Chain A
């Protein structure tokens, strides 16, 4: 039996290493404080490990890990790290459209100003996930995802283009 456990552990560790970017991404989207980011990273790895025996391979591991990461962040975060829209321009490091600062920074800040579920929806969409997969991860219906996505894109465009 111990070798089964160590096989499972090795399999889990290898999958986590392959998909570590997902964990980082979710953390970056929701948490700003470096200490909290570190704690959340460990919490996600721990929670995913606890749930790993239930992973049946029906969905991709990346989809499953995204869901665990998202749920963990939403349950274990210490405070709401959402940036109020009004404060976007004041936020440190944020550049107004037209400034010469990096577009990526502007996009990240704009996404962080969205609601919690909206952040997940848009990042998953931009990562190339299908609406069905996004629905599975966020627990919404496929139609609801499509409607939300349309609205989020409008919001982002408005924010980024002034």
Chain B
């Protein structure tokens, strides 16, 4: 069989399947992408939205609470979220840029996968230091609805309970955050990973 002749014949047989009209092209140009990259981008946008919402929640509680230490902790948390927002915003810019489809695919896929994974790991690690502060803020907020802050400092049980919360809930929160990232991004990162593996195999 002459490959070239058969291929040319096939071109006419199979590749001339209908003519595209302007409406089809225009529709496709403005359609939402459904690939793993788009899903990752959507996931990060949702994360950003959560950061904004929580910043305002902490601010609101900080303003409402009269106790300076408890209020200060709420403002501190709002500050942490506010900083995280700008950090995330700059990272989100790169994530939103996606993978340029007109450049070397394998390198770009690898870089994108590595960057998204790095951002998620970074977020999990930084959060590890924030959980004890957040737990303290929440604990004191709850405690001061029933008693005063002086009573807290005088109560050995309350202090031990707070320390126990740190010890138990910090690793639990970390594991929960990792699980949530896995649920939100794991599938799509694995998809990219399998594409990388297939391209590397060849």
Q: Mark A45-75, 1 if CB is under 8 A from B, else 0.
A: 1111111001100000000100110111011
Number of chain B residues close to chain A: CB under 8 A: 45
Q: How far is the CA of A126 from the CA of B198 in the complex (A)?
A: 24
Whether A24 and B34, one on each chain, are in contact in the complex, defined by CB atoms closer than 8 angstroms, is no
Q: How far is the CA of A139 from the CA of B37 in the complex (A)?
A: 21
Whether B29 and A75, one on each chain, are in contact in the complex, defined by CB atoms closer than 8 angstroms, is no
Q: How far is the CA of A76 from the CA of B98 in the complex (A)?
A: 13
Whether A45 and B29, one on each chain, are in contact in the complex, defined by CB atoms closer than 8 angstroms, is yes
Whether B101 and A107, one on each chain, are in contact in the complex, defined by CB atoms closer than 8 angstroms, is no
Q: Which of B155-202 contact A (CB under 8 A)?
A: 192, 195, 198-199, 201-202
Number of chain A residues close to chain B: CB under 8 A: 53
Q: How far is the CA of A68 from the CA of B19 in the complex (A)?
A: 20
Interface residues of B (CB under 8 A from A): 1, 3-4, 6-11, 13-17, 19-20, 22, 25-31, 33-37, 98-102, 104-107, 109, 192, 195, 198-199, 201-202
Cβ contacts A to B, 23 pairs, < 8 Å: A13-B29, A17-B19, A43-B34, A47-B101, A49-B29, A50-B101, A51-B101, A64-B102, A68-B101, A68-B102, A70-B105, A71-B101, A75-B35, A75-B36, A75-B37, A75-B105, A76-B33, A76-B35, A103-B1, A116-B199, A116-B202, A153-B3, A160-B1
